[in-house]
C-alpha cells in the first residue's frame, strides 16, 4: 500500500476551492441584515455629541448602536478577553465616549442592505473634544520601558568587556515599519439567530474556540446557546488569532434585533485593528580576528497600544542562533495611540532575526570573511538561552545544500547583458519554533468502514484538511478516500488555535493517537467475535487497505462491524504535550540566498532569484509544505521591499489603508524562486517528528535582500521596507 | 427607489431584472443571485478577487454596474464547472496546488481563461504581468504561474 505521509497529496478540499463552493464566513446565504461600522476620525479625546437621528430615519435602517445605548449588561462584570489577550485591558466597543485610537468603532448601523447601512452611517453627526497626542513610535521613544515586558533570555558572560576586547565590532540601528496582515478575505461574521434565542456564528477566526470564549465572556449566553463555525478561512496570517470587532458587532446586533446579521469589514477597515508593530533595534556585535563571535547585544523597542501590552519574543533569537558567550538582551515597549498590535506571520522571530542577520553580515564584512563561512564558523548545536540540546538541527546541511543549489562560491549574475544593473548576492539564516500544544479529536467509523475525524481546529490555507487525512490514512491503514476530516466547529473536540506553526504537531499527533486507539478497539471487537483468535498478540496484526490482516487472512473493518452487529464505532482522544519538549528545545531552521539587481539610474530593486533550503523534521506533504514555504518567502520579499503601514502623526490615521497604496508582493515581483527540504530525523519533537513550516520561510529573507543590496551597491539600508528612494538618497 | 431594466446572460441562462442603477455586478452576484464563489476582497478594483468573465474578457465585477451589461454574456466561477464536474482549468489549479486559502482562486482562474481567450502572451514576463491584477496574499504565485501557463498552452 502506498504511504500517504510524505506523499505529494493534492488538497482534499481542492474541488470546493476551485469551483467557488468553499464557503467562507461571508458566503453564508441565509437572509441577513447587514452591519456597517462608523469609525473615529480622531485618535485621542472623547465624543461630546453624537446625533444619529438622520441615520435612524433612513430607508432600511433597523438599528443603530453606540456608547449611548449599549445594553448595561455588557458593561459590568463582563469579560472581554480572548485566549490570546496580552496583559492589560482589552478594548470594549461602545463602552464609553473615550477615543483611544483613530479608526475606533463609534457606531454600528444595521440595515436591510449593506449599501443602506454604509450610507446611513455617513448621516451620523459626531462632535469630538480632541486631546493632544504623539502619533509615532519615534515621538514616544522617551516612554520606552521594560517594566511591562516579559524578561528576555538571561544575559550571559560579560558583554561590555568582550565587546571592548573584540578585534572587529559593529554598532548599528535597524528599523522596521508597521505591517498589516491583509488576508484576501476581509474579516467577516455571519450570525444566524434562532427562535429559541440561540445563535450559530460563522466567524473568520484561526480557532473557533477563541470566538466562543469571547462570546461567552461578553454576552454570557451559555454553552448550549452558541455554536461557532468556520469551515474555510480566506487567509489570516495571525489576523484571526484574536476575535476581531466584527464578531462583537454582528453578535450584538443579532441578539438585540433578534435577527440574522452579517458584518463584513471593508478593506480599509482591515487596517483598523492588529498589525506587526514598528520596532527599532540597536545591535552591537564583536568578533575576534579569526571571526569568532565574542560579544552580542540586541536591544529592541516596539510599539503597543495604550490599553494592552503586546509583546513579542524578539531579542531572544540573537542569543540562540550563533555560539556566543557574552550576550546582552533588552526589550522595551512604548505605548502609542493605536489599536493593539497582533501576532503576524513569525511574530518576533522575523523581527529579531532581521536585525541579527543584517548585523552578522556587517560583522563578517568587517572581519573580511565570507558571510556563509562566518555563519558556519559560529555554528552552535545547543540552545544557549535555555541550556538545552536541540531535538534536532540540520542547519549545516541546509547551508551546504543552499550553497550548492545557489552556486554561492562562483556567484554569477543572471542579467549580464544589462550594464545599468548592479548585481548583488546575500544570504541569511532563518529559524522558527517547533511547538506542540494539547489537542483533542474524535473518530467515528460507520458500518461501511468510512471514517469521520473531528477537531475544532482550522484550515487557514495551510492544508489542515489534507494533511490530517494523510496522517489518519496511514495510522489507520486505510485508503485516504475513506477519511473525512472535519474542522472549524465548536461542536467538535477542543483544539489549540491554528498558529505558531503547531497544527501538524499538535492536531496531527492527536489524530495519530486516536487512530492507534481505533486499531486496538477494532482488534478487540474482532477477537471477541472470533474465538479462535482470542489469544492473538496485537503486534502480530497488520492493518492495511481498510482491513485487519492476521496469519494471511483478511478481515475488512466493515465485515468485523457486521459480525459484531455494530453500526458505528466511536473513540475520543486527548493528546498532551510530550516529554521531549521539556528536556530539549525544538526549532526548524533554514538558509536563504538571494540575488538582487539594482538599477543604477532609477534605483529600482529587483530580486531575480531566491533559494531557500529548510530543515523541518518529517514533511507530511511536500506539496503543501513547499507552497507554504514559498509563500512565506514572498512575504519576506514584500516585507523587505514593499510593505509599510504609514501613520499620520497628526491624526494617528493609517494613510495608505488600501491595496493601491499598501503594497503587497504581486505575481510580477516573483521570479526564480526555489524551496526545498533537507532530511531531518527527529524522534523527540513530537510523535510525528514533524516541525511546522508556515512561518519559517519569512524569517531571514528581508536580511538576505538587505545584504544583497549592500553587495550590489555598497550601501547599507538599515530599514524596512527598502525603497528606491533609499537607494538614491544614501 | 428608481430601478433600471437590464437583460443579460448569466452562466448560460438568460436573465432580465429591474435593479437600482448603483448595484455593482459583484453585489448582484453575491446578494441577489447567491453566487458567492465570486469574492469581495477590496471593492475598489485593486485586488482582482471579484474577477469574472464578460464576453470572455476578465473584469473586476466590483467596478462594473449591472445596468451597464445589457446584452452581455457573464460567466462566473460557478459557470465554469462544479466541484463534481470540474473544467480543465479548475483541475489544473488543483494539480499544480495553485492556491492555499482559496479565496482569490475563483478570480485567478477567471483571469487565466481571459488570458487564454485573448492570446498575445509572448513571454513569462507577459504572463506574470497579466496575472498581477489578481493578488494572492498566501503568495502561491509560483504555482499560479505554472497553472496559468498550462491553461494558456493546453486548454
| CATH code of the domain covering residue A115 | 3.90.1170.50
Predicted pLDDT of residue A704: 98
Q: Give the minimum alpha-carbon distance from A343 to chain B in angstroms, rounded to a whole number.
A: 16
A324 shares a domain with A289: yes
Give A633's contacts in chain B (Cβ within 8 Å): 139
At B117-143, the pLDDT tens digits run 999 999 999 999 999 999 999 999 999
Which residues of A, range 234-253, sit inside 8 Å of B by Cβ?
234-235, 237
A443 shares a domain with A431: no
Q: Is residue A1's pLDDT more than 60?
A: no
Q: Output the average pLDDT for chain B.
A: 97
8 Å CB contact of B140 and A23 = no
For residue A6, being part of any structural domain is answered with: no
Q: Output the average pLDDT for chain A.
A: 96
At A393-405, the pLDDT tens digits run 999 999 999 999 9
Q: Across chain A, how many H-helices and E-strands are there?
A: 16, 28
Which residues does A634 contact at the CB level (< 8 Å), separation at least 6?
A: A665, A669, A670, A673, B139, B141
Q: Is residue A466's pLDDT more than 80?
A: yes
For residue A172, being part of any structural domain is answered with: no
Give A631's contacts in chain B (Cβ within 8 Å): 100, 138-140
Q: How many domains does chain A have?
A: 3
At A233-243, the pLDDT tens digits run 999 999 999 99
Predicted pLDDT of residue A427: 98
Q: Is residue A579's pLDDT more than 80?
A: no
Predicted pLDDT of residue A508: 96
The reply to whether A636 touches chain B by the CB within 8 Å rule is no
Predicted pLDDT of residue A223: 79
Question: What CATH number does the domain containing A303 carry?
Answer: 3.30.365.10
For residue A568, being part of any structural domain is answered with: yes
A501 shares a domain with A426: no
Q: Give the minimum alpha-carbon distance from A284 to chain B in angstroms, rounded to a whole number.
A: 35
Nearest chain B residue (CA) to A186: B41
Query: Cα separation of A641 and A645, whole Å?
Result: 13
The CA angle A210-A213-A216, to the nearest 5 degrees, is 145
Q: Which of A547, A576, A605 is the last residue of a domain?
A: A576
Which long-range CB contacts under 8 A does A129-133 form with residues at least 24 apart?
A129/A45, A129/A46, A129/A48, A130/A42, A130/A44, A130/A45, A131/A44, A131/A45, A131/A46, A132/A44, A133/A43, A133/A44, A133/A337, A133/A652
DSSP B90-141: HHHHHHTT--SS-SSHHHHHHHHHHHHHH----SHHHHHHHHTTS--TT--H
At A357-405, the pLDDT tens digits run 999 999 999 999 999 999 999 999 999 999 999 999 999 999 999 999 9
Give B48's contacts in chain A (Cβ within 8 Å): none
Give B91's contacts in chain A (Cβ within 8 Å): 18
Q: Give the minimum alpha-carbon distance from A253 to chain B in angstroms, rounded to a whole number.
A: 20
Rounded mean pLDDT, A161-180:
98
A586 shares a domain with A513: no
8 Å CB contact of B101 and A184 = yes
Q: Which of A513, A547, A576 is the last residue of a domain?
A: A576
Predicted pLDDT of residue A144: 95
CB atoms within 10 A of CB A482: 18
**Which residue from B81, B84, B101 is facing A234, i.e. has the nearest CB?**
B101
Q: Which residue bears the cell 484550515?
A: A459
A470 shares a domain with A408: no
A192 shares a domain with A334: no
A498 shares a domain with A471: yes
A425 shares a domain with A457: no
Query: Cα separation of A227 and A211, whole Å?
Result: 10
Q: Is residue A135's pLDDT more than 90?
A: no
Q: Is residue A413's pLDDT more than 80?
A: no
Nearest chain B residue (CA) to A268: B42
Closest alpha carbon to B47 in A205, A105, A235: A235
Predicted pLDDT of residue A649: 86
8 Å CB contact of A185 and B101 = yes
Query: Cα separation of A423 and A608, whole Å?
Result: 10
8 Å CB contact of B139 and A267 = no
Residue count (chain B): 155
Q: Is residue A621's pLDDT more than 80?
A: yes
Give B106's contacts in chain A (Cβ within 8 Å): 18, 20
Predicted pLDDT of residue A2: 60
Give B101's contacts in chain A (Cβ within 8 Å): 183-185, 232-235, 460-461
Nearest chain B residue (CA) to A112: B31
Rounded mean pLDDT, B98-113:
98
**Which residue from B42, B80, B82 is facing A658, i.e. has the nearest CB?**
B42
Rounded mean pLDDT, A281-287:
98
Nearest chain A residue (CA) to B129: A668
Q: Which of A210, A232, A266 is the last residue of a domain?
A: A266
Of all residues in chain A, the percent with pLDDT exceeding 90 is 94
8 Å CB contact of B99 and A22 = no
Record the cell numbers describing residue A563, joined without a space.
Answer: 459480525
For residue A643, being part of any structural domain is answered with: yes
Predicted pLDDT of residue A580: 63
Query: Could you give the domains of chain B?
Result: 4-80 (3.10.20.30), 88-154 (1.10.150.120)
Query: Cα separation of A279 and A274, whole Å?
Result: 15
**Which residue from B27, B76, B104 is facing A184, i.e. has the nearest CB?**
B104
Q: Give the minimum alpha-carbon distance from B29 to chain A in angstroms, rounded to a whole number.
A: 12
Q: Pairing between strand A168-176 and A719-720?
A: parallel
C-alpha Rg value of chain A to the nearest Å: 27
Regarding predicted confidence, which is higher, A71 or B155?
A71
For residue A174, being part of any structural domain is answered with: no
Give A119's contacts in chain B (Cβ within 8 Å): none
Q: Is ipTM beyond 0.95?
A: yes
Residue A219 three-state SS: helix
Question: What is the extent of the structural domain holding A400?
Answer: 279-435+582-729
Rounded mean pLDDT, A95-124:
98
8 Å CB contact of B46 and A660 = yes
At A180-229, the pLDDT tens digits run 999 999 999 999 999 999 999 999 999 999 999 999 999 999 879 999 99
Query: Cα separation of A393 and A390, whole Å?
Result: 6
Going by pLDDT thresholds of 50, 70 and 90, the confidence category of residue A337 is: very high
Nearest chain A residue (CA) to B103: A234
Closest alpha carbon to A623 in A493, A412, A452, A466: A466
Predicted pLDDT of residue A730: 58
A414 shares a domain with A341: yes
A592 shares a domain with A549: no
Rounded mean pLDDT, A266-283:
98
Of all residues in chain A, the percent with pLDDT exceeding 70 is 99
The phi and psi torsions of A35 (rounded to 5 degrees) equal -115, 140
Q: Pairing between strand A33-39 and A261-264?
A: parallel
Task: Establish, for the pair of chains A and B, how many residue pairs have beta carbons separated by less than 8 Å.
Answer: 178
The reply to whether A84 touches chain B by the CB within 8 Å rule is no
A445 shares a domain with A535: yes
For residue A34, being part of any structural domain is answered with: yes
For residue A598, being part of any structural domain is answered with: yes
**What is the enclosing helix (H) or strand (E) of B15?**
strand B13-19
Predicted pLDDT of residue B1: 72
Rounded mean pLDDT, A33-53:
98
A662 shares a domain with A542: no
At B30-51, the pLDDT tens digits run 999 999 999 999 999 999 999 9
8 Å CB contact of A19 and B90 = yes
**Which residue from A15, A237, A664 is facing B135, i.e. has the nearest CB?**
A664
Query: Cα separation of A301 and A149, whole Å?
Result: 11
Regarding predicted confidence, which is higher, A445 or A582?
A445
Please state, in angstroms and as integers, the Cα–Cα distance from residue A394 to each residue in A372, A549, A613, A681, following that order: 15, 38, 10, 9
Amino acid at each position: 500500500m502506498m504511504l500517504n505521509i510524505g506523499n505529494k497529496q493534492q488538497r482534499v478540499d481542492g474541488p470546493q476551492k476551485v469551483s467557488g463552493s468553499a464557503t467562507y464566513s461571508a458566503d453564508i446565504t441565509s437572509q441577513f441584515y447587514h452591519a456597517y461600522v462608523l469609525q473615529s476620525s480622531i485618535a485621542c479625546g472623547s465624543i461630546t455629541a453624537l446625533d444619529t437621528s438622520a441615520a435612524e430615519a433612513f430607508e432600511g435602517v433597523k438599528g443603530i448602536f453606540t456608547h449611548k445605548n449599549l445594553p448595561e449588561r455588557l458593561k459590568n462584570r463582563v469579560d472581554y478577553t480572548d485566549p490570546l489577550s496580552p496583559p492589560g485591558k482589552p478594548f470594549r466597543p461602545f463602552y464609553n465616549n473615550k477615543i483611544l485610537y483613530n479608526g475606533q468603532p463609534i457606531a454600528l448601523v444595521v440595515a436591510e442592505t449593506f449599501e443602506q447601512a454604509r450610507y446611513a452611517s455617513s448621516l451620523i453627526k459626531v462632535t469630538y473634544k480632541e486631546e493632544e497626542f504623539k502619533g509615532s513610535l519615534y515621538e514616544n521613544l522617551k516612554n520606552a520601558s521594560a517594566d511591562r515586558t516579559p524578561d528576555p533570555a538571561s544575559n550571559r558572560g560579560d558583554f561590555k568587556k568582550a565587546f571592548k576586547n573584540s578585534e572587529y565590532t559593529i554598532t548599528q540601528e535597524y528599523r522596521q515599519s508597521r505591517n498589516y496582515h491583509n488576508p484576501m478575505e476581509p474579516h467577516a461574521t455571519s450570525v444566524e439567530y434562532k427562535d429559541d434565542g440561540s445563535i450559530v456564528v460563522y466567524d473568520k477566526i484561526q480557532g473557533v474556540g477563541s470566538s466562543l470564549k469571547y462570546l461567552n465572556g461578553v454576552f454570557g449566553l451559555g454553552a448550549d446557546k452558541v455554536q461557532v463555525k468556520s469551515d474555510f478561512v480566506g487567509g489570516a496570517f495571525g489576523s484571526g488569532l484574536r476575535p476581531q470587532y466584527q464578531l462583537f458587532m454582528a453578535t450584538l446586533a443579532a441578539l438585540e434585533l433578534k435577527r440574522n446579521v452579517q458584518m463584513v469589514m471593508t478593506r480599509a477597515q482591515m487596517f483598523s485593528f492588529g498589525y506587526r508593530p514598528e520596532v527599532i533595534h540597536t545591535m552591537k556585535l564583536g568578533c575576534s580576528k579569526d571571526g569568532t563571535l565574542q560579544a552580542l547585544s540586541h536591544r529592541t523597542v516596539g510599539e503597543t497600544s495604550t490599553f494592552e501590552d503586546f509583546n513579542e519574543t524578539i531579542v531572544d533569537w540573537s542569543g540562540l542562533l550563533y555560539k556566543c558567550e557574552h550576550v546582552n538582551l533588552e526589550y522595551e515597549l512604548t505605548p502609542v495611540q493605536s489599536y493593539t498590535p497582533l501576532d503576524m506571520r513569525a511574530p518576533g522571530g522575523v523581527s529579531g532575526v532581521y536585525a541579527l542577520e543584517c548585523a552578522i553580515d556587517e560583522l563578517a564584512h568587517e572581519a573580511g570573511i565570507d558571510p556563509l563561512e562566518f555563519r558556519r564558523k559560529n555554528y552552535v548545536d545547543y540552545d544557549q538561552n535555555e541550556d538545552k540540546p536541540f531535538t534536532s538541527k540540520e542547519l549545516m546541511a541546509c547551508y551546504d545544500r543552499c550553497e550548492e543549489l545557489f552556486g554561492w562560491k562562483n556567484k554569477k549574475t543572471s542579467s549580464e547583458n544589462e550594464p545599468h544593473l548592479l548585481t548583488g548576492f546575500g544570504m541569511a539564516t532563518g529559524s522558527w519554533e517547533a511547538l506542540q500544544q494539547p489537542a483533542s479529536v474524535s473518530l467515528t467509523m460507520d458500518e461501511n468502514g468510512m471514517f469521520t475525524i473531528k477537531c475544532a481546529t482550522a484550515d487557514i490555507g495551510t492544508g489542515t484538511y489534507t494533511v490530517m487525512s494523510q496522517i489518519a490514512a496511514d495510522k489507520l491503514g486505510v485508503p485516504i478516500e475513506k477519511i473525512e476530516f472535519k474542522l472549524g466547529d465548536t461542536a467538535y473536540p477542543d483544539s489549540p488555535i491554528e498558529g505558531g506553526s503547531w497544527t501538524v504537531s499538535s492536531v496531527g499527533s492527536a489524530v495519530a493517537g486516536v487512530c492507534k486507539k481505533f486499531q486496538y478497539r477494532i482488534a478487540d471487537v474482532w477477537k471477541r467475535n472470533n474465538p479462535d483468535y482470542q489469544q492473538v498478540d496485537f503486534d502480530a496484526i497488520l492493518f492495511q487497505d481498510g482491513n485487519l490482516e492476521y496469519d494471511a487472512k483478511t478481515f475488512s473493518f466493515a465485515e468485523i462491524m457486521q459480525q459484531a452487529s455494530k453500526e458505528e464505532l466511536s473513540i475520543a482522544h486527548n493528546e498532551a504535550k510530550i516529554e521531549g519538549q521539556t528536556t530539549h528545545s525544538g526549532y526548524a531552521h533554514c538558509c536563504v540566498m538571494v540575488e538582487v539587481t539594482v538599477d543604477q539610474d532609477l534605483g529600482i530593486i529587483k530580486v531575480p532569484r531566491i533559494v531557500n533550503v529548510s530543515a523541518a523534521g518529517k514533511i507530511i506533504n511536500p506539496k503543501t509544505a513547499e507552497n507554504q514555504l514559498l509563500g512565506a518567502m514572498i512575504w519576506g520579499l514584500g516585507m523587505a521591499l514593499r510593505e509599510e503601514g504609514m501613520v499620520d502623526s497628526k491624526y494617528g490615521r493609517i494613510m495608505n489603508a488600501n491595496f493601491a497604496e499598501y503594497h503587497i508582493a504581486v505575481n510580477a515581483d516573483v521570479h526564480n524562486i526555489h524551496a526545498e527540504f533537507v532530511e531531518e530525523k527527529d524522534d523527540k519533537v513530537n510523535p510525528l517528528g514533524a516541525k511546522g513550516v508556515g512561518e519559517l520561510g519569512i524569517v531571514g529573507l528581508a536580511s538576505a535582500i538587505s545584504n544583497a543590496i549592500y553587495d550590489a551597491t555598497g550601501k547599507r539600508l538599515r530599514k524596512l521596507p527598502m525603497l528606491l528612494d533609499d537607494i538614491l538618497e544614501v | 427607489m428608481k430601478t433600471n431594466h437590464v437583460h443579460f446572460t448569466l452562466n448560460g441562462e438568460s436573465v432580465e431584472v429591474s435593479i437600482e442603477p448603483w448595484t455593482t455586478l459583484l453585489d448582484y452576484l453575491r446578494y441577489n443571485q447567491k453566487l458567492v464563489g465570486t469574492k469581495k476582497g477590496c471593492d475598489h478594483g485593486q485586488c482582482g478577487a471579484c474577477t469574472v468573465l464578460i464576453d470572455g474578457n476578465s473584469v473586476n465585477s466590483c467596478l462594473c454596474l449591472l445596468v451597464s451589461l445589457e446584452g452581455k454574456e457573464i460567466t462566473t466561477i460557478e459557470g465554469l464547472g462544479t466541484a463534481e464536474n470540474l473544467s480543465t482549468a479548475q483541475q489544473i489549479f488543483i494539480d499544480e496546488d495553485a492556491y492555499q486559502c482559496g479565496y482569490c482562486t475563483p478570480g485567478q482562474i477567471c483571469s487565466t481563461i481571459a488570458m487564454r481567450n485573448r492570446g498575445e502572451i509572448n513571454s513569462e514576463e507577459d504572463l506574470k504581468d497579466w496575472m498581477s491584477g489578481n493578488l494572492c496574499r498566501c503568495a502561491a504565485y509560483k504555482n499560479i504561474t505554472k497553472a496559468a501557463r498550462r491553461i494558456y498552452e493546453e486548454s
